Amino acid sequence: MPRYAPNKLPNSVKKRYFELIRQGVKGAAAARQVGVSTNCGSLWFLDAGGMLIPDPGPGVPRFLDQDDRIAIADGLTAGLDKKTIAAEIGKSFQTVYREVQRNSKPDGTDQPWWAHNQAPLRRKRPKDAKVAAEPRLDSVVRRKRERKWSPQQIARFLRRTYPNLNSMQLCAETIYRALFAGLLGHKAGKLRTGRSRRKRHRRGTDIPTRSRT
């Protein structure tokens, strides 16, 4: 059987290969059915991240499906800009832009099956607490908490200090949640003011005045 370069075949052939794998067909058998070598199929599988998340099928229209991601990869390979690709698949430019930014491979290339695996992993709930999963971020937040910084001050500091490092970004609300969940030290549920819960904001409401007698 002829051996093909793994990245020279059209995505339609790869799509059929992964459909067979999801159906439970063994890798060697799936490769034979689409006309490639077992090694070629194995390279495709490894290039997709070495795993396949079950395809949920048609879902929410604003989410991209496998065919959309294949069309995006084909369009980028053909040198099309993101706005043109978005128009062709009937999605907004912002959706295509976010897809390329979030679900591209670590080397910057766009691989539709890698992206199709990453998307549901990103949407998985419940997510691990970011502050607990990033030791460096946890250390910075704890140091600022020891200096009595507020979550808002910490969030602004992180944005200024690490503007291009997503793993070192937290919003104030996430810091509050980590604090009350006991992820920032043994004094769980304590704000710098000593209160155990946040005060309700009065923004947009009138403060009642006491009548003078």
> In this structure, is the dihedral angle defined by the CA atoms of residues 127, 132, 136 and 142, taken in order, positive or negative?
positive
Question: Tell me: the pLDDT tens digits for 63-108?
Answer: 788 788 888 888 888 889 999 998 988 888 888 888 888 877 777 7
Q: Sketch the domain layout of the chain as residue ranges.
A: 1-54, 66-116, 125-198
Q: CA-CA distance, 76 to 72, in Å (whole number)?
A: 6
Residue tagged 């069309």 (tokens): 71
Question: Tell me: the pLDDT tens digits for 131-151?
Answer: 777 888 888 888 988 888 888
Mean pLDDT (whole number) for 42-50: 78
Decide which of 55 and 181 is more confident.
181
The answer to whether 128 and 90 are in contact (CB under 8 A) is no
The answer to whether 111 and 52 are in contact (CB under 8 A) is no
pTM of the model: 0.46
CATH of domain 1-54: 1.10.10.10
Confidence band for 2, pLDDT divided at 50, 70 and 90: very low
Residue tagged 């971020």 (tokens): 137
Q: CA-CA distance, 132 to 99, in Å (whole number)?
A: 26
- pLDDT of 163 reads 87
